[in-house]
Amino acid sequence: MTRTEKAGGIFKQGFNCSQAVFTAFKPEDFIDDASALKLATVFGAGVACGGNGACGAVTGALMAISAKHGRGDVESIQARAKTYELGQQFMKIFEKEHGSIMCEKLLGINIGTPENMKKANDEGLIKNICYPLVLSAGNILEKMGI
């Protein structure tokens, strides 16, 4: 199973976009899956279920990039620049493929209210838009070697 397939499977279990992408793409020795799921929870549904922030698949991917390449000590100054560069590269590719990195623009609705979240689910937006975005984020990360 590829990590993109793992991300899709996590999403289909009911976890959010950020949880799915981060958990599937974090370095194996970084943290365990349960901790990764907890850590990424708040970044789902347009960040903290606000609906108007970055797509959870994007935030999960950025967290995975940072987990692999980020600056973890005082001496690793160059790691920050590399992490920013990879994060910008990911966002440019994602935006080019989908027209935006923002949840509301991708879905066409702000899912930050219970009513709109229900509407998005009832209309199949989560299944038909979010799930493919999770897979797309995974494919981009795989091509980037993350």
Residue 132 is encoded by which pair of tokens? 């493919």
Q: What is the pTM of this model?
A: 0.96
Per-residue DSSP letter, 13? T
Q: By percentage, how much of the chain surpasses pLDDT 90?
A: 96
Instruction: List helix spans (H) across the chain.
Output: 3-12, 17-25, 33-40, 56-69, 77-98, 103-107, 114-122, 125, 131-144
Give the residue-averaged pLDDT of 12-17. Answer: 97
Give the residue-averaged pLDDT of 81-96. Answer: 97
Give the residue-averaged pLDDT of 114-141. Answer: 97
pLDDT at 99: 98
Indicate if the pLDDT at residue 75 is higher than 90: no
Is residue 77 classed as helix, strand or coil in its secondary structure?
A: helix
- Asked if residues 141 and 25 have their Cβ atoms less than 8 Å apart, the reply is yes
pLDDT at 80: 93
